[in-house]
Structure 1
Amino acid sequence: MLIQAAVAALRQVFSPALRAILWKSLALTLALLATVWFGLTRLIQWFQASHHISADYPILDTLAYFLAGFGLLVALVYILPAVSILVAGFFLDDAAEIVERTDFPNDPPGQPMALGTSLLYAVRFAGLTLLVNLCALLIFFVPIVGIAAFFGANAYLLSREYFEMAAARFRPLDEAASLRRSNAATTLAAGCLLAGMMVVPILNLLTPLFGIALMVHVHKGIARRGQLPAPDARALRGP
Structure 2
Amino acid sequence: MNKLIDLSHTIEEGMITYKGLPAPLVCDFLSREASKQHYQQGTSFLISSIELCSNTGTYLDSPFHRYAEGRDLSELELQALADLPAIKIVIEDNVTAIDKRYFTGVDLKGKAVLVQTLWCRHFNSEQYFEGHPYLTADAAVYLRDNGVKLVGIDSYNIDDVSSDSRPVHSTLLGADILIVEHMCNLDALPNSDFQFFAVPVKMKNVGTFPVRAFAQVKDTSC
Normalised by the length of structure 1, the TM-score is: 0.27
Larger Rg: 1
Structure having the higher helix fraction is: 1
Richer in strand (by share)? 2
TM-score normalised by structure 2 residue count: 0.28
